[in-house]
Structure 1
Amino acid sequence: MSENHSLERHLSGRHVNMIALGGTIGTGLFLGAGESIQKAGPTILLIYIVTGFFVFSMMRALGELLLSDTNQTVFIGFIKKYLGERAGFIMGWTYWLGWIVIAMAELTAIGNYMRYWFPSIPIWIWGIVFLAVLYSINIIAVRAFGETEFWFAMIKIVAILAMIAAGVIMVILHTRTESGITHLSTLWEHGLIADKGHDVLSAFQMAFFAFLGVEFVGITASETKNPESTIPKSINSIIIRILIFYIGALLAIMVIQPWTHYSSEMSPFVQVFSGIGVPAAAGIINFVVLTAAASSLNSSLFTTGRMLFALSDKKSMFSKLNHRAIPMNAITFSTILVATVVLINYLFPNDAFSIVTSIASATFIVIYATLMVAHIKYRKSADYHKGQQLFKMPGAPITNYLTILFMGTIFLILLLSKGTMITTLLAICWFAVLFFVSLRKYQ
């Protein structure tokens, strides 16, 4: 085991671009869009644009911080640097645990997806198989991880582009479907908002969840070649990805079929392909969501390993790198924790994971808001005034405060909604526990 404490820079611009894109496109779009459309109607397009603007602002703040010190192992280091040891401790361990929980949920989802083709094989077997394969990829080399994530993201992109292309062609040709002739006016024929806007706020909450993982580029910064050019390009292109992949896909879905036809019980991608007469639609989409879950699990192992490496003391076994400059001990321990999902699945009902995942989502809101506060502190520090300021966040600090206000609003929606109130209170309890632990650790 190497005593070196520096991660190697083996991720190219191609890898970082795809990792950032893969982090933006997840199961929130493929599986959650049906419920979003049902709650908001065509207004969901505006909701995604507004949410995307504030997510982009958060990413620009992160980009400026990353280029101010490219030696930071993970972006939580900036919270620690500008808000203090306690804030870094609380946010660091929260981020690590949040990705552990997400990995558990994705591993369970993978087992369920595989049952579509192999119904007689238990879910836990597929979980172990996928976890073993992705663990092996993560400990071989950073480049192996980047290459795997590149192709996972490519599958998702092709699926969405196919959806958008199908929508454009069907509108031009006025294709007849089970719902009637395809026209652009199909988007607004049944109104622009669902149920007179009664559930529109909860759609904001779900749109935010769909963007979770976009900050993943901040984890790869310390292992990226030429970060001064790669990171700005990746972050600046996020807004274009949001418009094309989220807005474009949702627009195509609601043009091909009236938005009132979609059910929250099934992926709208499946419903669309079925409606236009593609017999293998369910199998195609099942494969796509399988790769989306595997991509998230792959990213989770990468993230939790780097986070545990960064959070551990220099004398800890988790702070050691192997001869390939990979934090193997940290990745191994995180993977073992994820593997306990097999036991948890046996002890608790299946809906336990959706509850725990919503706790993780609530904590991500706090992490993003805290990152914006750290950026405000950075702008007031000597580091900012003496630095080169290569990638300044536009509109700061006004955009900082607006983004924090938006994040706080989403958190209040979570806290006041019946379905997420208990899980949000549990997240608050988690922060309270970490705060008291930090008081003892950093007296």
Structure 2
Amino acid sequence: MTEIKASLARGLTARHIRFMALGSAIGTGLFYGSSAAIQAAGPAVLFAYMIGGAAVFIVMRAMGEMAVKHPVSGSFAHYASRYLGRFAGFVTGWTFTFEMAIVAIADVTAFGIYMGFWFPQVPQWIWVSVVVLLIAAINLMQVKVFGETEFWLAVIKVSAIIAMIAGGALLIIFGFSAPGAQTATGWDTLMASGTLFPNGFTGLLVSFAVVMFAFGGIETIGITAGEADDPSRSVPAAINTVPWRILLFYVASLAVVMMLFDWRQIDGSASPFVQIFDALGLPAAAHVLNAVVITAAVSAINADTFGAGRMLFAMAQAGHAPKSFGRVSRTGVPWMTVVVMAVVLLVGVVLNALLPEALFMIIASVATFATVWVWIMILASYLGMRRSERGLGASVKGSAYAVPGGTAAVWATLGFMALVVVLLALSPETRIALYAGAGWLVLLALCYRFVDRGAAEKKFAEAS
């Protein structure tokens, strides 16, 4: 296979990367998917987000340590190939691309639902078509344009969440409640069912399927290493913000939501944030928040498209994907991968036309499987790196950006990720993810056996 000489243009600053992390972490999973998590676990969902957030932080630190040592585009697929073998890199890269595609379809689905709050008579698929064309246009521009767009979209939603938390806290302090509410806002509303675990411990476990989906795509930070001006500083700076970001934007915002409004009335017909302020008799606030969640959805789709495109570019350079994915425009953008992602998102248009009601939960559960699988491969690659370094006499104490808790924390996180995969089997709605995931891995194994490995053997023979 002919070596691909094309390269990506560097243009992402620490500011861009930090807010890209926000764009990945704060999107559909929080603004829409949280309704399904709340229905499953009730107030106990706050514990689920804290536990899931801690696990994701270890994944991010493991990826960050590898990215600081080896800043490359498509980073974790490269690390999997380097420390676990070529097949592992092939599976990791394509599964991440699959994850981004599925998450993006979920995001465009949520975008259509949000627009339905204002235009209930307009078919959902029309709005999905509009946002797909918009995202394709943004991603075909210079990477700096993409970074600036993502930065300002993230600023809008972060500012709105902070304002919502502050405003909600004032409503709770002054005892404002929804018309006809049976309990006062605050702790009494949160505990309206009489317990933090209204659906038992099982409800908490089931909620992890949606909770982990909410964090999906945050590993895109690692993808930016190939286009960052100074990856050794910008990537760790972005990763280190994960803990407080999760506590503030997920735990604090959902705690305020469930203290303002009886969580049992959250039905998923709109974003729970919009539904609650609408029910409180504050339609202006509901409309403002709907505009914000639309912005958040666009931001998330933007980040998903970027991540998938850059991974496909790196896969093409490694010989894991067609050479055409390695072509870049004069501005250093892998244009072919953007076109492919636009086509994939257009599949979302068709699915929204056929399954407008049931689509989100199905896609979210499949995305959770792909997301958790990628995280497992990141953790396994980290353990492979540590094993390799020990063989060379290196010490983790010498690393400038080591994982807190070292390999013990990584092994514990691997156990948790395996548990999440098992939990997908508990609900009929999420069980389809296991079937889809197993089918996907079998398909990848066949592709590697007959396509990728054959190409690698041919390349080796030509080199000989």
TM-score normalized by the length of structure 2: 0.87
Residue 406 (structure 1) aligned with residue 406 (structure 2): no
CA distance in 2, matches of 1:259, 1:104: 27
Residue 126 (structure 1) aligned with residue 127 (structure 2): yes
Residue 284 (structure 1) aligned with residue 288 (structure 2): yes
Deviation at residue 155 of structure 1 after TM alignment: 2.4
CA distance in 2, matches of 1:183, 1:113: 27
Taking a change above 3 Å as real, the CA distance of residues 49 and 221 of structure 1, as seen in their structure-2 partners, is same
Residue 272 (structure 1) aligned with residue 276 (structure 2): yes
Answer yes or no: is the 8 Å Cα contact 2:185–2:261 preserved in 1: yes
Taking a change above 3 Å as real, the CA distance of residues 240 and 339 of structure 1, as seen in their structure-2 partners, is same
Residue 341 of structure 2 corresponds to which residue in structure 1? 334
* 2:221 counterpart SS class: helix
Of 355, 375, 381, the match for 1:374: 381
Residue 385 of structure 1 corresponds to which residue in structure 2? 394
Residue 208 of structure 2 corresponds to which residue in structure 1? 204
Answer yes or no: is the 8 Å Cα contact 1:41–1:259 preserved in 2: yes
* 1:391 counterpart SS class: coil
- Which moved further from structure 2: 293-302 or 406-415? 293-302
TM-score normalized by the length of structure 1: 0.91
Answer yes or no: is the 8 Å Cα contact 2:361–2:430 preserved in 1: no
Taking a change above 3 Å as real, the CA distance of residues 277 and 422 of structure 1, as seen in their structure-2 partners, is closer
Residue 459 of structure 2 corresponds to which residue in structure 1? none
Residue type matched to 1:182 in 2? T
Taking a change above 3 Å as real, the CA distance of residues 268 and 335 of structure 1, as seen in their structure-2 partners, is closer
Residue type matched to 1:256 in 2? L
CA distance in 2, matches of 1:117, 1:169: 27
Residue 27 of structure 2 corresponds to which residue in structure 1? 26
Residue 114 (structure 1) aligned with residue 115 (structure 2): yes
Residue 430 (structure 1) aligned with residue 440 (structure 2): yes
Answer yes or no: is the 8 Å Cα contact 1:9–1:225 preserved in 2: yes
* 2:140 counterpart SS class: helix
Q: Aligned pair count?
A: 441
Taking a change above 3 Å as real, the CA distance of residues 130 and 70 of structure 1, as seen in their structure-2 partners, is same
- The percent identity for this pair of structures is 35
CA distance in 2, matches of 1:344, 1:268: 23
CA distance in 2, matches of 1:258, 1:347: 32
CA distance in 2, matches of 1:166, 1:103: 31
Answer yes or no: is the 8 Å Cα contact 2:125–2:353 preserved in 1: no
CA distance in 2, matches of 1:173, 1:344: 45
Residue 170 of structure 1 corresponds to which residue in structure 2? 171
Residue 14 (structure 1) aligned with residue 18 (structure 2): no
* Runs of 5+ unmatched residues, structure 1: none
Residue 367 of structure 2 corresponds to which residue in structure 1? 360
Residue 57 of structure 1 corresponds to which residue in structure 2? 58
Answer yes or no: is the 8 Å Cα contact 1:27–1:210 preserved in 2: yes
Residue 72 of structure 2 corresponds to which residue in structure 1? 71
CA distance in 2, matches of 1:116, 1:361: 26
Answer yes or no: is the 8 Å Cα contact 1:38–1:194 preserved in 2: no
Taking a change above 3 Å as real, the CA distance of residues 351 and 46 of structure 1, as seen in their structure-2 partners, is closer
Residue 105 of structure 1 corresponds to which residue in structure 2? 106
Residue 253 of structure 2 corresponds to which residue in structure 1? 249
Of 450, 453, 456, the match for 1:442: 453
Residue 214 (structure 1) aligned with residue 215 (structure 2): no
Deviation at residue 334 of structure 1 after TM alignment: 2.5
Residue type matched to 1:373 in 2? A
* Runs of 5+ unmatched residues, structure 2: 455-464
Taking a change above 3 Å as real, the CA distance of residues 402 and 33 of structure 1, as seen in their structure-2 partners, is same
